[in-house]
Amino acid sequence: MAQKTDYDLCIIGGGAAGLVTAAGAASLGAKVVLIEKHRLGGDCLYTGCVPSKTVIHSAKVAHTIKESHRFGISAQLDVVDQSKVMQRVSEVIKTIEPNDSPERFRAMGIEVIFAEAQFISDDRLRVDGREITARKFVIATGTRPFIPSINGLDSVDYCTNETIFNIKENIEHLIVIGAGAIGCEMAQSFVRLGSKVSLVGRSELLAHEDTDMSEVVKQQFITDDIKLYLSSSLTQVEKIDNGLRITLTEGNNDSVIQIEGSHLLIATGRQANIDNLGLDKAGVAIENNRLVVDARLRTTNKRIYACGDVAGPYLFTHMAEHQAGVVLRNTLFHLPAKSQTKGIPWCTFTDPELARVGLSEREAQQQGIKHRVYTFAFEELDRAIIAGETQGKVKIITAPNGKLLGACIVGAHAGELIAEYVLAISQGLNVSALSNTIHIYPTLAQINRRVADQRRKEALTPNRKRWIKRLFGLRGKHD
């Protein structure tokens, strides 16, 4: 006889992945316990997506006021009180917070426990002095900022995404270490909110994107007066009377540069929250400080699953929600559902935004995939001209037969516009599907059809034009 267990599902971690898993399981009739050591909502609500995009929006408003003369309007931006921006961040969080409240989840029939959990064997864990057993367990403990080893860093106060939104005073000069999404978003936001900003990166901005696309963001950063120190190595951090000083070795010439600032933001990546979980006692393997999971999101202990940022490799809330669904199908219905690994969209919310799904041009080249590349610039689109949002372009990657392999947009509202390509790629559509779809005029979405039309124009060679004229008796001028 099978051993009786306390719960159908035990979930460790109350961020996006854990909450979606818990709510989904409870709605299907499962007996669920959700364990969280801090507060429900996780990184996304308190230190990630919600606060960062709130700050980004305030920075966008400030920038629009400063640039109002471009639209025939005279306006003056007063000195920004950054504490009021952070007050709005708190208000936005409080507005969304009830959706993730323990009361809401307890009303669903979920037992919510605030404590640290630790496995004591391969089929049970200890929480707040009691032992819990379950048919299946889910690790959804998320990630935290990765702090590199830098000489002198422990001698200064520094910020991460977990603390930057708690600052109440105006930041005079922010030094950002890291040229990925978080570093770029915060650098641009604070320079537009009145801070001086220096951005330091070991490589180029948004290095995982094609250079011609990230270059558009880079040029805007230069226009915004962000001081860029790219392809640089940070060797020393030290405290000084009015803040801190960093020492860099820049580029290939080993030139030494020192920068003084008032605040330091570390945005050098993430690491999984898997410490002190007793994973060795549970028979859960770890490689390179990450959980080992299969396509079904099972760990090496087949009764323990993982989802969300802790499972990786894509650290996005929308991916956490997808993985939660995969875990539910596996744990409750015993269906061999697999996590999607291709066609995952993402967006860096700089201005202009940069969004991508599928293969980049560089990846297609590196993998030896036969492909075609088509582009269309926003400056040629009527709605972009009307709105004064002409920066950037769309680039699509197709197979020689026209099947969509990837798309990248750098420009206004790229995070919204990319959705059409996500659908097209997920359904295996040909680029002609976009050409044949009617798009409203005048909208930015028209750019998705216009770039697709480039393939048709490419196919209309002079020789084909001559045959068409001859076949249908057309009388236009000759080429």
Could you tell me the two tokens for 97? 């917070």
- The structure tokens listed for 103 are 């009361």
- pLDDT at residue 1, as a whole number: 36
Q: What is the pLDDT along the chain (479 residues), one digit of tens a residue?
A: 346 789 999 999 999 999 999 999 999 999 999 999 999 999 999 999 999 999 999 999 999 999 999 999 999 999 999 999 999 999 999 999 999 999 999 999 999 999 999 999 999 999 999 999 999 999 999 999 999 999 999 999 999 999 999 999 999 999 999 999 999 999 999 999 999 999 999 999 999 999 999 999 999 999 999 999 999 999 999 999 999 999 999 877 678 999 999 999 999 999 999 999 999 999 999 999 999 999 999 999 999 999 999 999 999 999 999 999 999 999 999 989 999 999 999 999 999 999 999 999 999 999 999 999 999 999 999 999 999 999 999 999 999 999 999 999 999 999 999 999 999 999 999 999 999 999 999 999 999 999 999 988 887 767 777 777 777 778 777 55
- Output the pLDDT for position 250: 81
Q: How many residues does the chain have?
A: 479
The tokens 């087949």 sit on which residue? 302
> Is residue 444 within 8 Å of residue 417, measured between CB atoms?
yes
Tokens 């590349």, residue? 373
| Domains defined for the chain, CATH in brackets | 7-145+271-331 (3.50.50.60), 153-268 (3.50.50.60), 352-462 (3.30.390.30)
Quick one: which of 346, 57, 357, 45 has its CA closest to 185?
57
Task: Tell me how far CA of residue 393 lies from CA of 214, 354, 364, 378, 449, in angstroms.
Answer: 11, 10, 19, 5, 13
Pair of tokens at residue 120 = 């004591």
Which token pair is 237? 């951090």
Of 38, 34, 10, 37, nearest to 116 by C-alpha is: 37
What is the reported pLDDT for 124? 95
3-state SS string for the chain: CCCCCCEEEEEECCCHHHHHHHHHHHHCCCCEEEEECCCCCHHHHHCCHHHHHHHHHHHHHHHHHHCHHHHCCCCCCCCCCHHHHHHHHHHHHHHHHHHHCHHHHHHCCCEEEECCEEEEECCEEEECCEEEEEEEEEECCCEEECCCCCCCHHHCCCECCCCHHHCCCCCCEEEEECCCHHHHHHHHHHHHCCCEEEEECCCCCCCCCCHHHHHHHHHHHHHCCCEEECCEEEEEEEEECCEEEEEEEECCCCEEEEEEECEEEECCCEEECCCCCCHHHHCCCEECCEECCCCCCECCCCCEEECCCCCCCCCCHHHHHHHHHHHHHHHCCCCCCCCCCCCCCEEECCCCEEEEEECCHHHHHHCCCCCEEEEEEHHHCHHHHHHCCCCCEEEEEECCCCEEEEEEEEECCHHHHCHHHHHHHHCCCECHHHHCCCCCCCCCCHHHHHHHHHHHHHHCCHHHHHHHHHHHCCCCCCC
The first and second tokens of residue 136, run together, are: 């299946």
Half-sphere exposure of 44 (CA within 13 A, CB side): 25
Closest CA to 177 of 269, 82, 53, 56: 269
pLDDT of residue 151: 96
The predicted structure's pLDDT at residue 131 = 96
pTM for this structure? 0.94
- What pLDDT score was predicted for residue 461? 67
Please name the residues in contact with 106: beta carbons below 8 A apart, sequence gap of 6 or more: 112
The pLDDT of residue 468 is: 72
pLDDT score recorded for residue 3: 60
- Predicted pLDDT of residue 313: 94
Rounded distance, CA 83 to CA 168, Å? Answer: 5
- What is the predicted pLDDT for the residue at 479? 56
Q: What is the dihedral of CA 26, 29, 30, 33, to 10 degrees?
A: 40
Decide if 159 contacts 243 (C-beta within 8 A): no
